[in-house]
Amino acid sequence: MASSSSLLDDSRAQSGSHRRYVALASQTQSDAAANASSSSSTLASDEDEAPLVTERHQRRCSGGSAYVSAGLLCLVNLLNYADRSTVAAVLHRIKSSFKVDFKDSGLLQTCFILSYMMLCPIFGYLGDRGQPGRLLFSRKGIMLLGVCLWSGITLASSFVPNSMFGLLLVSRSLVGVGEASYATVSAPIIADLFAHDARTWALILFNLQVPFGTGVGFVIGQLVSDATDSWNSALRVTPPLGLLCVNLLAVCFREPRRGQSEGPAATAAAAAAAINPSRWLDDLRALSKISTFVLTTLGLSSVSFVTGALALWTPEMLRLSVLSRGQPSLPLLPARTDESAASPSSTVAATAASPESLRHPGHTGAEDRLSQLQASP
């Protein structure tokens, strides 16, 4: 009986332990399910907040300082292209002062374009690997150096003696170096300042300064050279404005981190790429495999080839066309007579009706085509 009672007690104890084990397991499973549900809800809430964080970051990047910086970049871009077209506005005066023909005067644009074309990839390479806060090896430093260079060289070129046309060609080459350093880093900075639609509008305004600046250069160059009867004074207008912009950039411009407009993840990726940069040849090889990039580049180069020549020679061609028909020149073109100015429509009609009138006594159509080729980018 004693043994039977002992066995019965052991059986009851084991049964109670089993029940407690089952209860404990059930409680553990329910706790795990609750924790999983809580984790999933936390992840879902984090995913819901992620777009809000990105939006807040983009709004912060597109704040007042970003608009000030973009405005300064647009202003410098306008002066950049105004400086280029000033030479075209006074080209006939330069030819007369240095006693050169159309072929030699076309070298002014050729020297500028060659240095600009060769230096753009180098400054782009330096800008990609620069870091904000470093004076020389940052995009801001490259811009300041470039604007100072082309402003100073343009001002110095206005003092070149009339007997040293080669020195004027050298100065135009150095101006191309300065403008290349600015052009290659300014547009990527705007891309880092703004995101999505704001970036599109900022780039539109930035590129609108190209025709605006070209027109300003034609007008200012014509008016100033007519007022002073000298080509030298026309080249002294944009340099002081450029040096003023250097001071504004140094004080008011804040360089963004690469990828800043895309959020913290893009900024971290850009910082990691700056620490371990890829080789230049590897970058070119990768870009050459992107057909859209290659075709777009070829198309833009073809357009620039034509527009570069037109920007230099159209004022001179229209002036010769009007003068050869015994009519006064257009206002704001690089020539002036004492009679009233002809209308643009009559000048274009005269040019189309009489192509031979574009020829100046002593130069041939072959020289026209050669000069146009030399002046093209």
DSSP letter string over 180-194? Answer: HHHHHHHHHHHHHH-
Q: Which residue has the higher pLDDT, 331 or 97?
A: 97
CATH topology of domain 61-277: Growth Hormone; Chain: A; (1.20.1250)
Q: How many CB atoms lie within 10 A of CB 246?
A: 19
CA–CA separation, 30 vs 40, rounded Å?
15
pTM of the predicted model as reported, rounded to 2 decimal places? 0.67
Of 10-24, 136-150, 293-307, the poorest mean pLDDT is in 10-24
- The answer to whether the CB of 142 falls within 8 A of the CB of 123 is yes
CA–CA separation, 146 vs 124, rounded Å?
13
CA–CA separation, 205 vs 174, rounded Å?
27
Closest C-alpha among 182, 73, 77 to residue 123: 182
Of 140-154, 172-186, 265-279, the poorest mean pLDDT is in 265-279
Q: Which residue has the higher pLDDT, 312 or 349?
A: 312
CA–CA separation, 76 vs 218, rounded Å?
17
Whether pLDDT at 15 is above 90: no
CA–CA separation, 308 vs 137, rounded Å?
31
CA–CA separation, 114 vs 374, rounded Å?
10
DSSP 277: P
Give 203-241 pLDDT, tens digit per residue: 999 999 999 999 999 999 989 998 999 999 999 999 999
CA–CA separation, 355 vs 364, rounded Å?
12
Hey, CA dihedral for 287, 291, 297, 298, is it positive or negative? positive
How confident is the model at residue 283, as a pLDDT? 80
Of 26-30, 99-103, 247-251, 295-299, the poorest mean pLDDT is in 26-30
> Can you read off the two tokens belonging to residue 219?
């007008």
Considering the chain, tell me which residue range(s) the CATH 1.20.1250.20 domain(s) occupy: 61-277
- The answer to whether the CB of 70 falls within 8 A of the CB of 188 is no
Whether pLDDT at 292 is above 70: yes
- φ/ψ region of 343 (left if φ > 0, alpha if ψ in -120 to 50, else beta) reads beta
Q: Which residue has the tokens 């041939």?
A: 364
> Can you read off the two tokens belonging to residue 142?
């490259």
Whether pLDDT at 130 is above 90: no
Q: How many CB atoms lie within 10 A of CB 325?
A: 15
User: How far, CA to CA in Å, does 23 sit from each of 15, 17, 36?
Assistant: 12, 10, 20
